[in-house]
């Protein structure tokens, strides 16, 4: 057998093994997104008897003046960045704690990943109950501590509702961040810290000069994953507030869902999907670019 | 907290003197445990309290025997098809996990071992779509489900669940195959095995641990999925746990059944708590392989 026929066979077998998976991915990922692009140029709603009628860029034009869309985009941005900041900080703290040797560490690690593994929709119910205005445990604790005089209506106030959903999201996903960061921490050699300490560096300096730079790839990857997931957050907010009160926690995903399911406006819903997709892809592209740079510079330094 | 942690990272704690510094670390461990468990424990406590104890003010943290009840649990099974919800979730999650491993592992093997044209493009695509939130897919899938008449059919969940777990499966399994020694496969080839035979007889048996790791993750993701289950399944008897639990509160306007909701959350999370307790290491392994090495 010549080299060429072996290569050819490898190609064929390779494609044979890859194709079934690719077909499923094309069906569930590529089709819906391409379809949304196509449909976004049509009006298909109750006004057109749910039949598609070509409308050019009308859906996008409408989006420009749609204050509810801008509001939801703003809500999503606030939610994403505040949650991300807390998750990265807390996740780093948890990872540092779990990285240290202590008795019962395996057990604590197990407990620390529990929030990540539990269904978001169900834990959203648990948090709704915690934030309940009458019988919620949070109000009870605050009352007992004398910090408040009467129960706060957490989910009934625009700002407080946003704080509540962010809190629940931070609880749910900090463990994911800490799992990724912990894996990174474990790959950093202890010798580095010892050498640094001998040179007279304080722990804080070690953290800044060794841990942070070496952990940067993991931090960026965790941030990227968390960004994408927060930007598309649905379950948590849908169950906790349904986007309320008065749209103050309505995220882009909830608006898309309502547009399609409640108002049966498929064309406009598709345009919303397209814009969300483009924002996401743009941010991901920037993050990959940064990640490449960080990996390169880490490679040069070491 | 960070200072203390790093400081004592590579030194053994033999300092005997009692100081606040020495307390910071145990305190942070306790904080991690409390932070992770509190919402779950509170939910459990609510689920076993009588309705009177649930709405008692100030809150009851240590219920007396006559404030305890299992009625919220029995109600789930007597007044609602809760057993069906559990079965539905289990069936959909298991089937999609098996399907996902069956389709994903061969693809991962090809991407790890065989030279295919366009391999990098496939990998890049797989990597990027792990980041897509499901809301981007639901409109197109809804149309597909309507067009194919798959509404209220488990296939409407099994196929998307297989797909959303394929990228992770491919990334985790690929990183596993890359670590597998090549010699075995080479000698199998010398013995005249073709690729498919070799995969079945040599590679597959060695792959079982990695398949288990991946399978646990895909099962968790499938069990937890919400938006597709909410959209494509409307028949009560076919609903999965997350959707059914989320809709309990909406069933009566006047009185929210806090205890029943709490019982539903406990039962709905129980299988996952068990999974995490037994397979913590595998879950961590799989997640880091899927996210970091990919």
Which is nearest to B119 in space by CA: A30, A48, A18?
A: A18
Non-local CB neighbours of B200 within 8 Å, separated by 6+ positions = none
Tell whether B123 and B20 lie within a shared domain: no
B-proximal residues of A, 149-188, CB under 8 Å: 171, 175-176, 179-180, 182-184
Q: Is residue A145 part of a domain?
A: yes
* Cβ A265 vs Cβ B168: under 8 Å: no
**H or E element, residue B219:** helix B204-224
Q: Which of A123-127, A149-153, A205-209, B64-68 has the highest mean pLDDT?
A: A123-127
Strand-pair category, A42-43 with A53-54:
antiparallel
In whole angstroms, what is the distance from residue A175 CA to residue A166 CA?
15
In whole angstroms, what is the distance from residue A248 CA to residue A72 CA?
8
Distance from CA of B38 to the nearest CA of A (A): 10
CA distances from A190 to A216, B7, B46 (A): 17, 11, 45
Tell whether B57 and B182 lie within a shared domain: no
Global ipTM: 0.89
CA distances from A40 to A57, A275, B57 (A): 8, 10, 53
The reply to whether omega before A245 is within 30° of 0 (cis) is yes
pLDDT at residue B3, as a whole number:
46
Mean pLDDT of the A187-216 span: 85
Q: Which of B74, B89, B104 is the last residue of a domain?
A: B74
Tell whether B65 and B197 lie within a shared domain: no
Q: In this complex, do B245 and A184 lie within 8 Å of one another by their Cβ atoms?
A: no
pLDDT at residue B119, as a whole number:
85
pLDDT > 90? residue B99: yes
pLDDT, tens digit, for every residue of B116-127?
A: 888 888 888 888
* Packing angle, helices B20-47 and B258-288, rounded to 10: 130
Number of domains composing chain A: 1
pLDDT at residue A257, as a whole number:
95
pLDDT at residue B11, as a whole number:
45
Mean pLDDT of the B16-40 span: 83
User: Where does the pLDDT of residue A299 fall: very low under 50, low under 70, confident under 90, or very high at 90 and above?
Assistant: low
pLDDT, tens digit, for every residue of A37-85?
A: 999 998 888 888 888 888 888 899 999 999 999 999 999 999 999 999 9
Q: Please report which residue ranges of chain A form alpha helices under DSSP H.
A: 3-25, 31-39, 58-64, 67-99, 105-117, 120-130, 137-144, 158-186, 190-198, 203-206, 212-231, 235-240, 252-261, 266-301
Q: Is residue A30 part of a domain?
A: no
In whole angstroms, what is the distance from residue A278 CA to residue A282 CA?
6
Partner residue opposite A276 with nearest CB, options B46, B136, B220: B136
User: Scanning every residue of chain B, which has its alpha carbon at the shortest distance from the alpha carbon of A239?
Assistant: B246
pLDDT > 70? residue B9: no
CA distances from B254 to A134, B52, B251, B257 (A): 15, 16, 9, 10
Greater confidence (A182 vs B23) lies with: A182
Tell whether B116 and B218 lie within a shared domain: yes
The percentage of residues in chain A with a pLDDT greater than 90, rounded to a whole number, is 49
In whole angstroms, what is the distance from residue B166 CA to residue A257 CA?
25
In whole angstroms, what is the distance from residue B269 CA to residue B224 CA?
9
- B55-64, B80-89, B91-100, range with the lowest pLDDT: B55-64
Residue B283 lies in domain = 80-293
Strand partners, A53: A43
Q: Is residue A68 part of a domain?
A: yes
User: Where does the pLDDT of residue B225 fall: very low under 50, low under 70, confident under 90, or very high at 90 and above?
Assistant: very high
The backbone region for A53, taken as left when phi is positive above 0, alpha when psi lies in -120 to 50, beta otherwise, is: beta
Tell whether B213 and B276 lie within a shared domain: yes
User: Where does the pLDDT of residue B1 fall: very low under 50, low under 70, confident under 90, or very high at 90 and above?
Assistant: very low
Phi, psi for residue A148 in degrees, rounded to 5: -130, 160
Q: In this complex, do A32 and B170 lie within 8 Å of one another by their Cβ atoms?
A: no
pLDDT at residue A302, as a whole number:
36
pLDDT, tens digit, for every residue of B230-289?
A: 999 999 899 999 999 988 865 555 567 888 889 999 999 999 999 999 988 888 888 887
pLDDT > 70? residue B2: no
Greater confidence (A277 vs A217) lies with: A277
Q: Is residue A15 part of a domain?
A: no
Q: What SS3 class is residue B123?
A: helix
Tell whether B16 and B140 lie within a shared domain: no
Question: Residues A254, A256, A262, CA angle at the centre, nearest 5°?
Answer: 85
* Cβ A23 vs Cβ B132: under 8 Å: no
Mutate to test the interface with B, among A15, A34, A100 (most CBs of B within 10 A): A100
Non-local CB neighbours of A55 within 8 Å, separated by 6+ positions = A41, A42, A43, A267
Partner residue opposite A225 with nearest CB, options B39, B103, B291: B291
Q: Which of B56, B74, B92 is the last residue of a domain?
A: B74
Phi, psi for residue B55 in degrees, rounded to 5: -100, 10
Tell whether B10 and B53 lie within a shared domain: yes
Tell whether B48 and B135 lie within a shared domain: no
- A193-207, A251-265, A286-300, B60-74, range with the lowest pLDDT: A286-300
Judging by beta carbons within 10 Å of its beta carbon (0-12, 13-18, 19+), is residue A101 exposed, middle or buried?
Answer: exposed
Q: Is residue A1 part of a domain?
A: no
In whole angstroms, what is the distance from residue A48 CA to residue A43 CA?
7
Tell whether B242 and B97 lie within a shared domain: yes
pLDDT > 90? residue A207: no
Q: Is residue A23 part of a domain?
A: no
Q: What is the CATH number of the domain that holds B167?
A: 1.10.3720.10
Phi, psi for residue B131 in degrees, rounded to 5: -90, -10
User: Where does the pLDDT of residue B12 fall: very low under 50, low under 70, confident under 90, or very high at 90 and above?
Assistant: very low
B-proximal residues of A, 182-211, CB under 8 Å: 182-184, 190, 193-194, 202-204, 206-207, 211
Q: Using the 8-state DSSP alphabet, how is residue B253 labeled?
A: S
User: Scanning every residue of chain B, which has its alpha carbon at the shortest distance from the alpha carbon of A282?
Assistant: B128
Greater confidence (B184 vs B179) lies with: B179
pLDDT at residue B192, as a whole number:
81
Number of domains composing chain B: 2
Q: Using the 8-state DSSP alphabet, how is residue A26 labeled?
A: I
* Cβ B276 vs Cβ B216: under 8 Å: no
Q: What is the CATH number of the domain that holds A205?
A: 1.10.3720.10
Mutate to test the interface with B, among A9, A16, A29 (most CBs of B within 10 A): A29
* Cβ B267 vs Cβ B86: under 8 Å: yes
In whole angstroms, what is the distance from residue B4 CA to residue B243 CA?
44
In whole angstroms, what is the distance from residue A207 CA to residue B212 CA?
36
pLDDT, tens digit, for every residue of A209-259?
A: 888 888 888 898 889 889 999 999 999 999 999 888 889 999 999 999 999
* Cβ B133 vs Cβ B139: under 8 Å: no
Interface check for B5 against chain A (CB to CB < 8 A): the answer is yes
In whole angstroms, what is the distance from residue A253 CA to residue A124 CA?
16
Tell whether B180 and B219 lie within a shared domain: yes
Q: Is residue A32 part of a domain?
A: no
Q: Is residue A224 part of a domain?
A: yes
Q: Which of B48, B74, B100 is the last residue of a domain?
A: B74
pLDDT at residue A300, as a whole number:
45
In whole angstroms, what is the distance from residue A71 CA to residue A134 CA?
29
């Amino acid at each position: 057998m010549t080299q060429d026929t072996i290569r050819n066979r490898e190609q064929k077998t390779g494609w044979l093994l890859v194709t079934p998976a690719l077909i499923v991915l094309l069906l569930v990922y590529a089709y819906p997104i391409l379809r949304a692009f196509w449909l976004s140029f049509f009006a298909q709603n109750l006004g057109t008897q749910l039949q598609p009628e070509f409308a050019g860029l009308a859906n996008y034009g409408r989006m420009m003046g749609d204050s509810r869309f801008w509001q939801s985009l703003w809500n999503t941005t606030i939610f994403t960045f505040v949650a991300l900041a807390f998750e990265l900080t807390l996740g780093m703290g948890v990872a540092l704690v779990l990285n240290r040797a202590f008795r019962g560490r395996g057990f604590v690690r197990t407990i620390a990943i529990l929030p990540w593994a539990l269904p978001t929709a169900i834990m959203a119910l648990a948090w709704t109950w915690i934030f309940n205005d009458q019988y919620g445990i949070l109000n009870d604790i605050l009352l007992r501590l004398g910090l408040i005089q009467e129960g706060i209506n957490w989910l009934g106030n625009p700002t407080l509702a946003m704080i509540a959903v962010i809190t629940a999201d931070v609880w749910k996903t900090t463990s994911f961040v800490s799992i990724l960061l912990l894996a990174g921490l474990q790959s950093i050699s202890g010798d580095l810290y010892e050498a640094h300490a001998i040179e007279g560096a304080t722990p804080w300096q070690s953290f800044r000069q060794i841990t942070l730079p070496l952990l940067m790839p993991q931090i960026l990857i965790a941030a990227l994953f968390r960004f994408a997931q927060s930007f598309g957050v649905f379950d948590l907010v849908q169950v906790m507030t349904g986007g309320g009160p008065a749209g103050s926690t309505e995220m882009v995903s909830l608006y898309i869902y309502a547009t399609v399911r409640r108002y049966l406006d498929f064309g406009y819903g598709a345009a919303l999907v397209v814009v969300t997709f483009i924002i996401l892809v743009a941010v991901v592209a920037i993050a990959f670019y940064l990640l490449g740079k960080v990996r390169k510079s880490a490679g040069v330094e070491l | 907290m960070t200072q203390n942690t790093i400081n004592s990272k590579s030194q053994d704690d033999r300092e005997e003197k009692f100081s606040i510094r020495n307390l910071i670390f145990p305190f942070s461990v306790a904080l991690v445990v409390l932070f992770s468990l509190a919402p779950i424990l509170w939910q459990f406590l609510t689920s076993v309290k009588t309705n009177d104890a649930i709405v008692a003010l100030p809150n009851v943290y240590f219920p007396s025997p006559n404030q305890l009840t299992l009625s919220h649990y029995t109600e789930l099974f007597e007044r609602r098809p809760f057993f069906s919800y559990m079965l539905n979730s289990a069936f959909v999650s298991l089937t999609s996990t098996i399907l996902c491993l069956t389709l994903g592992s061969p693809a991962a093997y090809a991407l790890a071992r065989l030279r295919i044209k366009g391999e990098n493009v496939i990998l890049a695509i797989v990597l990027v779509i792990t980041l897509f939130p499901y809301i981007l897919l639901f409109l197109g899938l809804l149309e597909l489900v309507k067009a194919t008449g798959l509404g209220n059919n488990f296939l409407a969940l099994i196929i998307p669940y297989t797909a959303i777990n394929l990228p992770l499966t491919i990334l985790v399994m690929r990183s596993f195959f890359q670590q597998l020694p090549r010699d075995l496969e080479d000698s199998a080839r010398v013995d005249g095995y073709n690729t498919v035979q070799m995969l079945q007889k040599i590679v597959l048996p060695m792959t079982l641990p990695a398949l288990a790791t991946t399978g646990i993750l895909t099962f968790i993701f499938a069990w937890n999925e919400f938006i597709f289950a909410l959209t494509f399944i409307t028949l009560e008897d076919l609903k999965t746990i997350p959707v059914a639990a989320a809709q309990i509160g909406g069933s009566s306007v006047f009185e929210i059944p806090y205890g029943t909701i709490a019982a539903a959350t406990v039962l709905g999370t129980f299988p996952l708590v068990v999974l995490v307790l037994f397979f913590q290491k595998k879950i961590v392994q799989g997640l880091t392989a899927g996210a970091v090495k990919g």
